[in-house]
Amino acid sequence: MSIDLKNVDYVYDSGEPFEYFALRGISLHIDEGAFVGIVGRTGSGKSTLVEHLNGLLFPTHGDVVVDDEIVSGDRKVLAKVRRRVGIVFQYPEDQFFAETIFEEVAFGCRNYGFGKEQVDDSVHRAMKTVGLDPDRFLSLSPFQLSGGEQRRVAIASIIAMGQKYIVLDEPTAGLDSGSKLAVLAELESLRQTTHVTVILVSHNMDEVAEFCKQVIVLDDGAVAFQGPTDTFFTDAALVDRTGLELPESYRLARALKACGSILTLNEASTERMLESLKLSVSDLGGT
């Protein structure tokens, strides 16, 4: 199963004097179970694109296909698609409305008609997945939490519903780097255990290099690259042309290569690269 976009255009205010082509001829494929990054400079169309994935927006031309279902405004189709694709927005805490975290996380499950036991069970499991102790947090108000904890509650609300495609639009913006990595590591372990698909919109190239095996790069509403993240970041000229920065680990690897290093490096994260450097140095007889 997969999500596919076939030649999708999206025009804001179509037919009006200020109509704006936000997406142009987008064709892409996202496999179920993948961890995919969507990147691109500000205004390149990332949020517009993800809003197509669960029918918040519909293409002006072209088709969005979720598991063989063409997304349309038909009530039954829309319900099916939204059952499969959940989106966590950039500032999800703005949408909190319930008095307790339990009610907040349970809301979607109840909407889907889960029974009481299934709601309890899903809420507890989702809270544990995002690293929040249910016994401590479920009776609190979402507004009593820190920004990082609020972000985790928003992610738990989506996970609890058991959707198979989880889309996160800048979910780590405003979080410190420790909380960022923790949230992404939790999503990665959820992906490994339940085979959910994670689609991450991010401006942070370090986290994209570390967590996303595949990347979709948007430039001015069009796809400039889609494929393995490592292939993209190895093409420094393309990274520059699309207005993005190389992750720290790739910059370090380039600097080492420029110094004539012939070591084999794992560039996906600086931490792992330093590990592989240590190993390579000890292989060469150093310590």
* Contacting residues toward ligand ATP, per CB under 6 A: 12-13, 20, 22, 40, 42-48
Scan residues 31-90 and list those touching Mg ion (CB under 5 A): 46-47
Could you tell me the smallest distance in angstroms from the CB atom of residue 42 to ligand ATP? 3
- Give dist(CA 280, CA 249) in Å, integer: 16
Q: Compare residues 46 and 151 and give the one whose CB is closer to Mg ion.
A: 46
DSSP SS3 for 249: helix
Q: Compare residues 90 and 234 and give the one whose CB is closer to ligand ATP.
A: 90
Q: Compare residues 39 and 184 and give the one whose CB is closer to ligand ATP.
A: 39
- Give dist(CA 67, CA 73) in Å, integer: 16
| CA quadruple 13, 17, 20, 26: dihedral sign | positive
Could you tell me the smallest distance in angstroms from the CB atom of residue 78 to ligand ATP? 20
The residue at minimum Cβ distance from Mg ion is 47
- Give dist(CA 154, CA 94) in Å, integer: 10
Q: Compare residues 22 and 277 and give the one whose CB is closer to Mg ion.
A: 22
- Give dist(CA 102, CA 123) in Å, integer: 7
Q: Which does 44 bind (CB under 5 to 8 A by kind): Mg ion, ligand ATP, none?
A: ligand ATP
Q: Does 179 bind Mg ion (CB under 5 A)?
A: no
Q: Are 271 and 209 in contact (CB under 8 A)?
A: no
Task: Look at strands 165-169 and 85-88 and give their pairing.
Answer: parallel
How is residue 54 annotated by DSSP?
A: T
Could you tell me the smallest distance in angstroms from the CB atom of residue 23 to ligand ATP? 8
Could you tell me the smallest distance in angstroms from the CB atom of residue 177 to Mg ion? 21
Binding site for Mg ion (CB under 5 A): 46-47
